Amino acid sequence: MLTASTKTVQGKTAPGSLAAKSHYQVLDGLRGVAALIVVIFHTFEPFSKGDHTKQILNHGYLAVDFFFLLSGFVVAYAYDDRWGRMGQWEFYKRRLVRLQPMVVMGSLIGAALFYLQAGPAFPPIAHTPVVKMLMVMLIGCTLIPITPSMDIRGWDEMHPLDGPAWSLFFEYVANILYAVVLRRLGKALLSVFVFASGVFLIHMAVTSRHGDVIGGWSVTPHELHVGFARLLYPFFAGVLLMRLGWRIHVKHAFLLCSILLTAVLVLPRPGGPLWVNGLYDSLSIIFIFPLIVAMGAGALHADGEDAGRVCKFLGELSYPLYITHYPLIYIYTNWVEKGVMTPVRGWLWGAALLVTAVSMAYACLKLYDEPVRAWLSRKLLRRA
């Protein structure tokens, strides 16, 4: 989902770069794998009818926590050694240039498809004035969260036109924490923060009303509690993992890490008390995800040119795919709620949705995101 603005283009420094750094190709590829699983998870989710135990790809929601861990690692890698040449405002501008264009596009796509989502799944849509919807769209373009009193869908989302934007809100919070606090901390004190946030995460997960870490997308005390618990440990741990230099060198790292990550995200929900699944969620975030990142970072380049091209494509696609696919899921959810989806038809339309989401994300990347970021970089960012 998220990357730092440290790209190289054909061996040359991209506009606005302080100094080009190599990408971790395997980590880029893993981000794309997780984004694809998120889309598939959301496609299956409506069939569970709100029952978390009946979700088909039961732990696909953990991809968000993996994104937060990757983000902490990559931000620290990209910026830890640059603060002598870069102030906070320059850092904020770089993160805005990297992330905000697709936030705007996600809100615009959500607005364009909003009234096509009217139906039994979202009764408020039929009664939402266009002016109010456009106001929510403009607020969504800024990533400022709205309260449930302004909801226009019925799910109390902080971004009801593009649900996944909630995680970008927390991503921005994490970037501010990094710029103000984390970059100044030594490894010992950062380790204390990581430990404390891990305890916070475990407590939230095992005491959750559903026995999982699902949540964080609404401006309510409970949802904000869930959101911050999901954010703090993985982001802090990603920063610490980069600074400690822990790397695990294995052959075929992209393939092995992809298999391990996919297994964590699609494993069926364990039986027994609800807290058992909460423990699975928290331990996956605390131990398995850092292991995957350490393995991926141990291989700066993928094994072979073909694997490198796949990682590059998946890495570039991941963020646009994540931030633009959900308006399609709203439409699909309404179809499921209407009862028009038989199992066979659901699979066929789900496959069509995935192809459409990938195509739309790639078009947004090439026709909008890359040109806009290049223009903003030339206008706003300090050159090397």
Please give the sequence-ordered ranges of beta strands (E in DSSP) within the chain, or none if there are none: 8-9, 12-13
Q: Comparing 56 with 11, which gets the higher pLDDT?
A: 56
Q: Are the beta carbons of 244 and 309 closer than 8 angstroms?
A: no
CA–CA gap between residue 189 and residue 302 (Å, rounded): 34
Q: Are the beta carbons of 353 and 70 closer than 8 angstroms?
A: no
Three-state SS for 122?
strand
What pLDDT band is residue 378 in, cutting at 50, 70 and 90? very high
pLDDT for 25 beyond 60: yes
Write the DSSP symbol of residue 164. T
CA–CA gap between residue 51 and residue 21 (Å, rounded): 44
Q: What pLDDT, in 10s, does the model give residues 183-242?
A: 999 999 999 999 999 999 999 999 999 999 999 999 999 999 999 999 999 999 999 999
φ and ψ at residue 330, rounded to 5 degrees: -60, -45
SS3 labels along 59-77: CHHHHHHHHHHHHHHHHHH
Write the DSSP symbol of residue 286. I
Of the chain, the percentage scoring pLDDT greater than 90 comes to: 83
Chain centroid to Cα 276, Å, comes to: 25
Q: Are the beta carbons of 235 and 242 closer than 8 angstroms?
A: no
What pLDDT band is residue 6 in, cutting at 50, 70 and 90? very low
Neighbour tally for 346: CB within 10 Å: 18
113, 175, 201, 202, 338 from 197: Cα distances, Å:
38, 16, 6, 9, 42
Cα angle at 245 between 168 and 20, to 5 degrees? 60
Q: Are the beta carbons of 21 and 7 closer than 8 angstroms?
A: no
pLDDT for 356 beyond 80: yes
pLDDT for 7 beyond 80: no
Three-state SS for 8?
strand
Say which residues have a Cβ less than 8 Å from residue 104's Cβ, sequence separation at least 6. Answer: 141
pLDDT for 8 beyond 70: no
